Structure 1
Amino acid sequence: MTEAPTSVRRPPAPNPAERAKTIATRNGPATIIPTVERAGCDVERVTPVLHHVHHSGSVSILLPDEHPMVQASRQSQRGELAVMVELADHAPVPLREPIRGLLWITGWLRPLTAVSARARAIAIADERPDYRLLDVGHGVTLLRLTPASLVLADAEGTHSLRPHMFSAAPPDPFHDYEAEWLRHLESDHPDVVDQLARHLPPQLHGGRIRPLGLDRFGLRLRVESATGDHDVRLAFSRTVEGPPQLAAELRRLLGCPFLHHRHSSG
């Protein structure tokens, strides 16, 4: 994760709650970290069997029945543990520094009853089918994290969020399209990536340009150079909502504003 170069006026970008919701929706790698109130839980960082962030900001977590965190939560006075879930947003293309952002959700982790666990597993499967959900009640425990606060850290800055802000925010419309599009851009159209260098500040010329991110406000590039890594946002002329508008904005960035008429003249 690399800070963008400072400037007087930053290009428009999704607001922090929207960026946080987009990271959560991508369902990247998660780690559970107990807080100082560990109540006898002697583990430091835990990788869950499965995790799912709900629109409200609550997190469903699968852990083996005998996991120390499950046992500690059952044995605690309140039947829950104070923990933090860390979600990493990895770039779709291989970079020297692959993490684009981090989202931390802090709250209370509690095992669900058998009835609640089955109902929640079914609800998750409707949205994101996963065979591991079939193991709920058969060697794995489904726990729920009730969020108290969220913190987002990415190239745009660090922001604290309340759960209601996260719940109300939509993910970016390109969240399920971005990864494939960026990989296609780098592998099949390196010339296009090179042409985008015309928009970079002079001090970044000469570095290796990599496609880093895509959202409705613009395209983000990573410049990998001998002096370090730098992130640059190229703003679209308007917000885009789908592939046709995206294609038109990309052509504008390349300096070919009239190419979108090429299919209508022949």
Structure 2
Amino acid sequence: MSDRPPVPGPGERARTIAARGPATLLPPLPTLPPAGAQRQSDRVVPIWHHVHADGSVTVLLPDEQAAAATTVVELVDLAPVPLREPVRGLLWITGRLAPVNLAEARDLALDLVEERPDPRLLDLGHGVTMLRLAPLSMVIADADGTHPVSAEAFAAAAADPFCHREAGWLRHLELSHTDVIHTLRRHLPDWLRGGHVRPLGLDRYGLRLRVETIEGDHDVRLAFERPITTLEDLSAELRRLVGCPFVALQAGR
């Protein structure tokens, strides 16, 4: 039996990155390289992008770049606090990118506005073209490994319930609650307690810390007692991790 704390599955982690990560279009690749392996000139940053529940991707590009092609959409999960190594994960979606005719694009934009209002959608037909990528494969790479994600697994999963609030919470934790960060050191192995402890991530399974030392960086997951979905549960779990005595009293009732 593994002693590793539970983590979200690959589908959930992929949906979380897709929900908030910045996107870049890469040229066709025979294998998936490390981040930054392409020349900067090969990379195209879309004006706007959206990853749909079926794994397809809609992007807006300038008219002069709107050509059909097989490409890779790379989505990056960046830490919300400034770290020496800020990339927490990568999601690659490979597929065929093709322009959408203007009438259909405008209808799709109206649907997207209801889900994700954005003024850049108003630029359609005015120097901007909508393209849609039909996914052929999907791969996620992060601290929990590199895994292929099927379209079915991606569609069946949901993004972490805290994914859009995580960044603000962790920045607030680092800037305004250094006492809490210091208290969390008690959960670290002895050999890491002298390092610089930073808040790295938060999901329904636990809190992740990055410990920066002279020798390198080390990530530690502090597991919650159970997966959580509400702010009340999150507050209780964080109090438990810092050793709040009121949590123990309530648990004993």
Paired letter, 1:15: G
Deviations 1:147-200 (A, max 9, x none): 111110111111111112111111111112211111111111011011101111
For the aligned residue pairs, the C-alpha RMSD in angstroms reads 1.8
Query: Whole-Å Cα distance in 2 between the matches of residues 36 and 254 of structure 1?
Result: 46
Tell me the residue number matched to 2:37.
none
Equivalent residues in 2 for 1:1-266, closer than 5 Å: 9-26=3-20, 28-35=21-28, 44-67=42-65, 70-71=66-67, 73=68, 81-259=69-247
Deviations 1:31-72 (A, max 9, x none): 1012169xxxxx6211111111111111101111112xx24x
Report sequence identity in percent.
59
- The alpha-carbon distance between structure 1 residues 96 and 139, as it changes in their structure 2 partners (threshold 3 A), is same
- 8 Å CA contact retained: 1:186, 1:193: yes
- The alpha-carbon distance between structure 1 residues 36 and 248, as it changes in their structure 2 partners (threshold 3 A), is closer
Give the superposition deviation at 1:139: 0.7
- The alpha-carbon distance between structure 1 residues 141 and 206, as it changes in their structure 2 partners (threshold 3 A), is same
Give the superposition deviation at 1:203: 2.1
TM norm structure 2: 0.90
Query: Whole-Å Cα distance in 1 between the matches of residues 154 and 245 of structure 2?
Result: 37
Tell me the residue number matched to 2:33.
none
Tell me the residue number matched to 1:77.
none
Deviations 1:61-110 (A, max 9, x none): 1111112xx24x2xxxxxxx211000001111111111110000001101
Query: Whole-Å Cα distance in 2 between the matches of residues 208 and 50 of structure 1?
Result: 36
Secondary structure at the counterpart of residue 137 of structure 1: coil
Secondary structure at the counterpart of residue 95 of structure 1: coil
Tell me the residue number matched to 1:4.
none
Secondary structure at the counterpart of residue 66 of structure 1: helix
Query: Whole-Å Cα distance in 1 between the matches of residues 27 and 113 of structure 2?
Result: 27
- The alpha-carbon distance between structure 1 residues 180 and 20, as it changes in their structure 2 partners (threshold 3 A), is same
- 8 Å CA contact retained: 1:248, 1:260: no
- 8 Å CA contact retained: 1:248, 1:257: no
Aligned length: 240
- 8 Å CA contact retained: 1:148, 1:162: no
Give the superposition deviation at 1:259: 4.6
Give the superposition deviation at 1:254: 1.1
* Unpaired segments ≥5 residues, structure 2: 31-40
Give the superposition deviation at 1:257: 4.3
Deviations 1:223-262 (A, max 9, x none): 0111111111000111111111111111111122425879
- 8 Å CA contact retained: 1:33, 1:46: yes
Runs of 4+ displaced beyond 2 Å: 259-262
Secondary structure at the counterpart of residue 42 of structure 2: coil
